[in-house]
Each structure stands twice: as C-alpha cells, then as structure tokens.
Structure 1
Amino acid sequence: MSSPKITIKNWDESDRPREKLSRLGASYLSNSELVALLIGSGNLNETAMGLAQRILKSVDHDLNKLHQLPLEILLKFNGIGLAKAVKIKAGLELSKRMIQKKDQKGVVMNHSKIVFEHLQYDLAALDHEEFWVIYLNQSSKLIEKFKLSQGGISQTTVDIRLALKRAFEVGATAIILAHNHPSGNLKPSQSDKNLTQKFCEAAKLVDLSVLDHLILSEKGYFSFADEELM
C-alpha cells in the first residue's frame, strides 16, 4: 500500500510558497515555487510543487522553452487541465511583456549585445525561422522592431522592398537585421551573407545605413558587424 501524499499544507509554514512570497517577496521564490502558485494544486500522487518541478524539468528548466510550449503539450501532464495550462501561459506572457517594455522608443542600439538583449526573448527559443528588422533614427535610437517574415525550420523568405518601405514609413535612417537559427548553429550560411550584401546594396541606393545583421539562437548570437563582415 502506497504512503499518503504529503501536501503543501503539511509543510512548515515558512516553506510554503504562498506564505514565503507574502513574507519575503516574489523574488525569493524559485521558478518551481512560482509555477506551483500559478497552478494551485497537483494531482492524486504529487503536490503542486512536485508537478511544477516535473513540468520545468521537461523543458530543461528553461522559461523561454516553457513559454513556447504548446497548450496541448501542457495538457498531457497529469493534473494540468485547461484552466491551469492557461494560467501558466498567461503568467509567462505577462513576464514577456514586462521584458519587452524595455524596447520602448529611445533606447540607443549602439552595440550588438544590446540588440541581442532586445531580441532574445522574441527569437532565440523559436522552433522556426523569423526575420526581423530594427529601425533606428540618426542617433541610433530605437524607433521600432518589425517582424518582416516567418518561415520554416531552416529558412524564411525575405522581402527587401518591404523592409525599405517600412523604413520610410517610420522615418528611419538606419536599420539592423536579425534572424534566428533554430538549429542552434550561429555560423552564417552563404545565403545569409548574400542576403546581407543585397540589403546593404539596396539600402545604399536610398541613403539608408545597414549597421549590423545578427543571428540568434539559445546559445547566443553572431554579429556580422563585430566580425567585420558588413
């Protein structure tokens, strides 16, 4: 006969996630404790904490991967119904939006690391390719981030004319190109190099500067400008 499940209510009060948050603040809680608070309860065999730990383990404790996890995958966990799955997705989306608030107009994008930090959450963990353009004013301050295209696992179609048209619409004088490699390989392909060259040539004709082209993945980023390939 299996031993009865020890619930969170049986824990010492100082160790319970809800009481700990109330006493110390949310920053003192682990990711597992925060997810446990979101789902509220576990199942017949495990506590909310145990279930939260199992969910996080399935994505290598990577919150970006958890955010990208489809609802139908979350629903396969015993104890996770639609209401709990939606709470997890909503909580992570709020976190994403808080991070993206840093991307307000006026941020100076004068280093590849800054560009990477502003695009990491958008691109690094995706399982498909996307191509984005960052539009800047003459002081290299951010005007807008724009998703130009979305493709499959290994490529996406890019319309240079659309990218340049958008530059005129927002009054940009410079742009930074960026796309992700779902494979994790940060080495630029020959097609990446050719596309960068085409962008530079087309932009020059309309007095628009292409400052950099970043390739992103969960492993980090590659900068054409840093490697003197522009």
Structure 2
Amino acid sequence: MKKLAIKSWSQDDRPREKLLLKGKNTLSDAELIAILISSGNREESAVDLSKRILQSVGNNLNNLSKLSIEELMHFKGIGEAKATTIVTALEFGKRKQFEKKQQISKITSSFDVAKIMQPIIGDLEHEEFWVLYLNNSNKILANHQISKGGLTATLVDVRIIFKKALELFAVGLILCHNHPSGKLIPSNSDIELTKKIKKATFTLDLKLLDHLIITEKAYFSFADEGVL
C-alpha cells in the first residue's frame, strides 16, 4: 500500500500546521514525535512511523525515554540524527520535570526527597549515588552526584561527600542511591556505608537525616524504617 505523504493531507491535519493553527496541546504524542523526525520511510509517513514506535513501548513516554539511540535506530526510517533528536527532546522533558520537583522549598519528609530524586535516578539501568545538602532550615543547598557505577553497585568516596558539605556550609545530609533491580531491601554494603557516613558526621558536626534507596515506582527510607 502506497503511503499518503503528510504534504498531501488537509492542512489542519499536518502536525506542524496543526501546531501553529491550533496550539501544542492539540497534538498527539505521535504528532509531536513526527515533527521531531520530520519524515518517515517509503512505507510510512512520519506520523505512522511515530505511532509504531510508541506502540512498541505501550504508548508510554516514560518507556520511550528508556530506549537507547541504537534501539531507536532499529526502526526503519530512524537514523542516528533522528534517534538523537528524540532522545534529546525526552531528556529535556525529564529535566523540566526535575526542575519542577526542585521547587520544593523545604524537605519535610522522605516523600519530598523521593519526588526530587526519582526523576533523576529512578529509571536508570546502572547505580548512582547522590547527596542532598541542606541548611539549618532543611532547605536544599545543592544535590550532587557522588559516583556512578554498574548494574549492582557503585563505589562511594566518603571524602568527596564531606568536602562538598564543607564547601556549602551544609548542616544536614540526605543520601540517595538507586537499585536498578527494583529491589528496595538495603544490602549489607548499603547498611555499612550508611553507618560509616553517620559516624563521620559527628566529628564534623553534621546531621545525617536519611538514606533513600530509589526505584522507578517506590523508595526505601532508612529513617522511616528506623534503621538509620
């Protein structure tokens, strides 16, 4: 079946024209992606190709954001440039979501921390270790990536954690790392590292307020569970 090129569509149905005439909120996810990739392949229009890509991930943008450039290039009509454009656009969306979460003015619970950190590390396929640095009013001074590791572990240099705390004149620390496996149970190394950091905070007159293990849909709080 010969594809119907977008140029032959009614002007109201062309994604770019629709965006200009009716506004961004009128476009479907597939139409937005079609604008990004500009063209399809010999059998599909840009919109049809975009629909097929979305269907492959259950029409879920979060799942789409997990596809690598190489995985996107498996779709006929998606080369490196188009795949890079899709990944870049989704990363911008993720960062916008993160900035919105950062507007939390004061940390009052582990839930506040999870809201900030899940968009950053919740869906990663490797482990990362982050620290939130707080002032005396529990307001965030900075959040900093300490280390980046593999599928099951990441090495943490405790000296880096405290160097940053002293530079910021922080009063409180909240540790965060993700478990790509989705398991929320802290490992023995998680527990030992937490104890090591907590012991060091006494010497520097700092407070270790919590340690969260983050997954895509849930979290484990050492403080909430009484194991800090």
TM-score (normalised: structure 1): 0.88
Q: 1:84 aligned to 82, 85, 96, which one?
A: 82
In 1, are the aligned partners of 2:104 and 2:112 still within 8 Å (CA)?
A: no
Determine the C-alpha separation between the residues in 1 that align with 2:170 and 2:58. Answer: 40
Q: 1:31 aligned to 29, 33, 42, which one?
A: 29
Q: 1:7 aligned to 1, 5, 18, which one?
A: 5
Deviates more, 1:59-68 or 1:157-166: 59-68
- 2:117 maps to what in 1? 119
Q: 1:58 aligned to 56, 59, 80, which one?
A: 56
Deviates more, 1:121-130 or 1:94-103: 94-103
- 2:183 maps to what in 1? 185
Letter in 1 for 2:96: M
Where do residues 155-174 of structure 1 align in structure 2 (5 Å cutoff)?
155-174=153-172
Gaps (5+ residues) in structure 1?
Answer: none
In 2, are the aligned partners of 1:105 and 1:142 still within 8 Å (CA)?
A: no
TM-align CA RMSD = 2.3
Where do residues 65-144 of structure 1 align in structure 2 (5 Å cutoff)?
65-102=63-100, 107-144=105-142
Deviates more, 1:195-204 or 1:103-112: 103-112
Instruction: State the shift of 1:105 in Å.
Output: 8.1
Residue 65 of structure 2 aligns to a residue in which SS? helix
Gaps (5+ residues) in structure 2?
Answer: none
Instruction: State the shift of 1:215 in Å.
Output: 1.1
In 2, are the aligned partners of 1:74 and 1:85 still within 8 Å (CA)?
A: yes
Q: 1:199 aligned to 183, 197, 200, which one?
A: 197
Number of residue-to-residue matches in the alignment: 228
Instruction: State the shift of 1:11 in Å.
Output: 4.7
Do the aligned partners of residues 175 and 41 (structure 1) sit closer, same or farther apart at CA in structure 2, a change above 3 Å counting? same
Q: Percent identity?
A: 48
Residue 204 of structure 1 aligns to a residue in which SS? helix
TM-score (normalised: structure 2): 0.88
| 1:157-179 Cα deviation digits (max 9, x unpaired) | 11222211210011110011101
Instruction: State the shift of 1:38 in Å.
Output: 0.8
Where in structure 1 do 4 or more consecutive aligned residues deviate above 4 Å?
9-15, 103-106
